[in-house]
Amino acid sequence: MGNTLEFDTTTTTAKKKKKKRAIPEDSNWHFNLGEDGLFVNRTKLTDVPLVVQSRWKHVQSEADLRFAPKMGVFLDFYENGEVVRTEQIAYDDLATDQQLYELIYNLGYSVSLVAKYEGTSHAKVIRHFIKTARPKTTYRIHTHGGWSDKGDLFVAGPELIPASTGLDRGDSKQTRSIRPPSGTYNQWEEHVARPIMKQEHAAYQWAISLPLGALLMPLVGFPLNSRGGFHVFGHSSTGKSKMLDIACSVMGDLPNTWETTSSKLEIVASQHNHRLLCLDEIGQAKKSEVVESAYKLAQGVGRSRTNQNLENIEPFTFELMFLSTGESSFADVVRKETGEDPFAGQKIRFCDIEWNSDITKWWKTEDLRKLEDSVEDYHGTMGREFITILAANETKSSLTKRYREERNKLVDGEDNPKFCRVANRFALCILGAKLAKEYGLLPAEWDAEFGPTAVFESWKKLNGEIDERIEAAKALMAAIDIGRANNRFHRKVESMCALESVAHSHDVLGFLEAPGPQLDDTSCFLFPEAFRKLIGDKNPNSIRRFLAEEGALIKSKRGFTRRMGRVTYMGSSIASEQTNVYHISLAKLAAITTPQDVNAPQNQLLLRDHI
């Protein structure tokens, strides 16, 4: 047949006029499209007897059809009753005859029809059958990674955990983001977890608990404002990359690198939904990409885009934790890119952790090489077994209760809301390790709190500056309350007239504003001199940037300050167009200085009885 596309037909007689055969119609034929799509059981093509003919060999065809908005059709090609090839065809490729001809030809096949359909478009018959054949059984195709909407399965690309024997199927078109399991979870425990436990290596124990904590994120009502990850920095060849390998060994994840674009990172992040994303060598990334990715990975939503028809394309979505490494800290990367220190919110989402003696231990070269070999030989089994036991035995309510208990123990006596947000992530790690120990997947002597707690304390020690900014905000709030009680503010409504005025101008701190005469104050306008006095010896530039990032200082086109405008009291002017003030939102300032309520359920995973 060569390289030409041929269609073989059988003619009855050369003299008899051929009669065009109409394609059979059945008004009852239909598809019930599920949430993620469906395909039908393999059935012999009796109503429309197609023969799919290879350019090199002749095979009989059966159709294994799968219809989904973003998927298409599976065609199985049979020879002597056995499948010799399966091809997935995009549904859009069946739109026209020419598209179907080219597609079939590019797969290496030509199409033949029996005589009763002679005179009818071959492609039209094929497309008609594919689009109207009634499915005998509807299968559920999981196209998005992570926990299923029912919560009974975990989807990792084309793989389902636990392996489904029912009507659930993985998406064969999805990229495989985890390796097939190697060894057994008992071997992983003996050769990976136990040596790390004996060495009392806090960072490596924490690395094992991280992917377990990431699996729990959608199951415990994890606060949205606490999402983010960690960046471990230190000198080269000190074991940071090995920490990533240990973390990846739990699920069998494929390690990733920062040497990519922000757009590609969105795709990688979506493939790690409800999992830990490991990123190595931050120094290889473009500085601007790192700054943009800090918020993107924490917020869980990619960039909005449009297609060539200016129609909105649904952005990538994901909920994950990430673990990054490099020789430079995240703060240094931001300084090199912007010339300024990172915002406090960036530091919370992208926690810098120094690779130092507080969280590491020296290993003999021989022992470290054994650990490297073990991580390569045994991976993926522990995480899969953890998911299987978790889905079968735990409920959302029980996990949420235990998570809050771990969080409350970790932040006991801590009133810094920034530290509490980071503590939420470490509490997940502790809970994950405790569950794995209960399931027999970690040694009985394993201390689930040791690794995460040691790393958390190390991070707190490194981030004293954040604590300083919180203290400055608290001092500012207290000073405003005292000034309000002692009548040191002009009080006005949202107009140019003041309701009350301070008798002595040298006592004035600024203005308080309310929507109406009988309503509480919502805004405070501080004079710059008063602002500097109220925050004490703190750096005013750092405090202003911190308050602006948190929404407590409302910036104007001029920057941090704004013009107060003309304000009069009993006919006398007490402010003009030249009066500079800082516009402070009292509600936002109060939110900074008061630990946020993280008990509100924010679980986005719909569960029935069990996970």
Q: What's the 3-state SS for 535-555? A: CCCCCHHHHHHHHHHCCCECC
Question: Is residue 535 pLDDT above 80, yes or no?
Answer: yes
58 vs 9, more confident:
58
Question: Is residue 305 pLDDT above 50, yes or no?
Answer: yes
Question: Is residue 415 pLDDT above 80, yes or no?
Answer: no
- What average pLDDT does this structure show over 423-449? 96
User: The tokens of 25 are what?
Assistant: 């119609």
Question: Is residue 126 pLDDT above 70, yes or no?
Answer: no
Between the alpha carbon of residue 321 and those of residues 194, 207, 229, 274, 455, the distances in Å are 25, 12, 5, 8, 16
CA angle 321, 346, 451 (to 5 degrees): 45
Specify the pLDDT at position 607. 28
Look at residues 340, 347, 406 and name the one whose alpha carbon lies nearest to residue 542: 340
pLDDT digits (tens, 9 = 90+) for 158-187: 888 988 767 677 766 566 778 999 999 999
Of the ranges 321-330, 478-487, 502-511, 550-559, the best mean pLDDT one? 321-330
63 vs 335, more confident:
335
| pLDDT band of 302, cuts 50, 70, 90 | confident
| pLDDT band of 543, cuts 50, 70, 90 | confident
Backbone angles phi, psi at 261, to 5 degrees: -95, 165
Of the ranges 131-145, 229-243, 254-268, the best mean pLDDT one? 229-243
Of the ranges 51-60, 208-217, 236-245, 312-321, the best mean pLDDT one? 208-217
Question: Is residue 37 pLDDT above 70, yes or no?
Answer: no
96's CB contacts (< 8 A; 6+ apart) are 123
Residue labelled with tokens 């077994």 = 385
Specify the pLDDT at position 296. 85
Question: Is residue 452 pLDDT above 90, yes or no?
Answer: yes
Specify the pLDDT at position 94. 62
| pLDDT band of 542, cuts 50, 70, 90 | confident
| Range in 91-105, 297-311, 555-569, 573-587 with the lowest mean pLDDT | 91-105
For the chain, give the percent of residues with pLDDT over 70. Answer: 68
CB 212 within 8 A of CB 454: no
Between the alpha carbon of residue 400 and those of residues 29, 415, 600, the distances in Å are 46, 22, 11
Look at residues 554, 549, 540, 547 and name the one whose alpha carbon lies nearest to residue 473: 547
CB 182 within 8 A of CB 253: no
| Cα maximum dimension of the chain | 116
CB 178 within 8 A of CB 154: no
pLDDT digits (tens, 9 = 90+) for 334-351: 888 888 778 778 888 889
Specify the pLDDT at position 446. 96
Question: Is residue 252 pLDDT above 90, yes or no?
Answer: yes
420 vs 98, more confident:
420
Specify the pLDDT at position 320. 94
Question: Is residue 599 pLDDT above 60, yes or no?
Answer: no
Q: Read off the DSSP letter of residue 217.
A: G
Instruction: Report the predicted TM-score, pTM, of the whole model to 2 decimal places.
Output: 0.64
Question: Is residue 117 pLDDT above 60, yes or no?
Answer: no
On average, the pLDDT of the chain sits at: 76
| Range in 72-76, 80-84, 449-453 with the lowest mean pLDDT | 72-76
| pLDDT band of 484, cuts 50, 70, 90 | confident
CA atoms within a 13 Å half-sphere pointing along the CA-CB vector of 55: 12
